[in-house]
């Protein structure tokens, strides 16, 4: 496996490669085997709304009400693990104290705008259409979830290692909060997707009412 050019250190020694190969053949990586969805979107810093990072989510269900996701800076084999996100249903969200609810964000705008995607096949038209139908169905579930996300590695400022304290992140919630067309368009070019088409396909998804305590970072900024 090649090393990541953005991370200090040389190639893995042969001994480590041999040990890893042996471990992968013998050990059973059950937690990671439960991963069932790859989502891609953008997170913005809760203490600095507008500053953002692209995040690839690899998610698993713990129950029908709770999901957990590992976040990477790319979908490649040498991706850096940059954070974690938990997603819960409105039923659970409503049971949290108000101070806790302020740490969570909605997904309604991410879904309806076409920003949030499930990367899939792009080579065969028939496969794309089937995948888009499955993706749209998944978005019907995600749109109502609330997420709590912390990033551990500030790759956007060029940190070579995960420095400092974890950073609470949030989602974008409305047009005009960042250069959507350029940023999401650049992402789409890499994944072979189109946010405009996603937005059109999702017009039939009912947008839920977002709890007033969610997306607190944007509300706080507007009052500063």
pLDDT of residue 16: 44
* More reliable by pLDDT, 17 or 206: 206
pLDDT at 11 over 60: yes
Which tokens go with 67? 């999901």
pLDDT of residue 34: 76
pLDDT of residue 13: 59
pLDDT of residue 199: 97
pLDDT of residue 48: 95
pLDDT, tens digit (0-9, with 9 covering 90-100), for 111-147? 999 999 999 876 556 687 888 899 999 999 999 999 9
Q: d(Cα 132, Cα 200) in Å, to the nearest integer?
A: 12
160's CB contacts (< 8 A; 6+ apart) are: 6, 7, 8
CB 215 within 8 A of CB 44: no
pLDDT at 38 over 90: yes
Q: d(Cα 148, Cα 158) in Å, to the nearest integer?
A: 24
CB 149 within 8 A of CB 105: yes
Q: d(Cα 53, Cα 172) in Å, to the nearest integer?
A: 11
**Mean pLDDT value of segment 97-116:** 98
124's CB contacts (< 8 A; 6+ apart) are: none
pLDDT of residue 207: 95
pLDDT, tens digit (0-9, with 9 covering 90-100), for 159-210? 999 999 999 999 999 999 999 999 999 999 999 999 999 999 999 999 999 9
pLDDT of residue 29: 64
């Amino acid at each position: 496996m090649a090393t990541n050019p953005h991370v200090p250190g040389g190639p893995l020694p042969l001994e480590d490669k041999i040990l890893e190969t042996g471990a992968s053949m013998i050990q059973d990586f059950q937690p990671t085997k439960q991963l069932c969805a790859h989502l891609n979107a953008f997170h913005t810093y809760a203490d600095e709304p507008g500053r953002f990072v692209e995040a690839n989510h690899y998610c698993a269900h713990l129950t029908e009400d709770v999901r957990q996701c590992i976040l990477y800076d790319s979908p490649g084999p040498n991706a850096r693990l940059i954070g974690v996100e938990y997603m819960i249903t409105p039923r659970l969200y409503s049971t949290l104290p108000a101070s806790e609810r302020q740490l969570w964000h909605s997904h309604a705008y991410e879904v309806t705008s076409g920003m949030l995607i499930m990367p899939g096949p792009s080579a065969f038209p028939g496969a794309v259409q089937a995948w888009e139908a499955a993706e749209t169905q998944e978005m019907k579930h995600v749109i109502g979830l609330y997420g709590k996300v912390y990033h551990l590695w500030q790759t956007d400022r060029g940190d070579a290692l995960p420095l400092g304290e974890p950073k609470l992140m949030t989602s974008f919630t409305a047009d005009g909060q960042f250069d959507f067309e350029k940023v999401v368009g650049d992402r789409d070019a890499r994944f072979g997707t189109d946010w405009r088409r996603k937005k059109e396909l999702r017009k039939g998804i009912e947008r839920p009412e977002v709890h007033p305590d969610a997306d607190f970072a944007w509300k706080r900024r507007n009052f500063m």
